[in-house]
Amino acid sequence: MAIFGTIEILKKQTQNAQLLKALDFILKTDIKSVFAQVTPEKKQTIEIDGKKIFAIFQSYSSKLPDDTKIEGHKEYIDIQYIFSGEERILLASEKDIISPDPYNSEKDVYFPKVKNSSNIQLRKGDAAILFPEDLHGPCCCIDKPMPVEKVVIKVAVN
């Protein structure tokens, strides 16, 4: 089940050493200086523990709900941290799938169609931990599209 809140709250909600390492990365990194090198056309990836834990810094404009795709992962847990801006993340479960999508193992992603979703809203300083069972539609605007700077940390399941 997805959990969300500030980094400090998330640290209290997990005992998993890999997730704690990823959350500490957010707290200890000069995120502003990394984003100085990021544009909508150019993401920045930083390895924290090789391919087991890595961070993707991205800048984009949030999307309207109809333009937001639900996605799922099997090999990685996502930690999505909002550095600036705000967004809504749509949430669904595998029981909500009405049209499956082939899994792309190279990119660890699939895009099923779902019948129902709920959502969480993240604002500057908020984060969400999304497990493989948490289908999610990130980058969705809350009221209207706006610029967002977000760090997505991928934590290998095994």
Question: Which CATH number characterizes residue 27's domain?
Answer: 2.60.120.370
Question: What range does the domain containing 144 cover?
Answer: 3-149
Neighbours of 87 (CB within 10 A): 25
Residue 155 lies in a domain: no
Best CA proximity match to 33, nearest among 158, 112, 127, 149: 149
Residue 120 lies in a domain: yes
Residue 157 lies in a domain: no
**What is the pLDDT at residue 109?**
98
Residue 156 lies in a domain: no
Look at the block and give the residue holding tokens 């997505």: 152
Domain tally, the chain: 1
**What is the pLDDT at residue 76?**
98
**What is the pLDDT at residue 30?**
97
**What is the pLDDT at residue 127?**
98
**What is the pLDDT at residue 129?**
98
Residue 53 lies in a domain: yes
pLDDT along the chain (158 residues), means of 10: 95 96 98 97 98 98 96 98 98 95 97 96 98 97 97 96
**What is the pLDDT at residue 1?**
83
Residue 133 lies in a domain: yes
**What is the pLDDT at residue 136?**
98
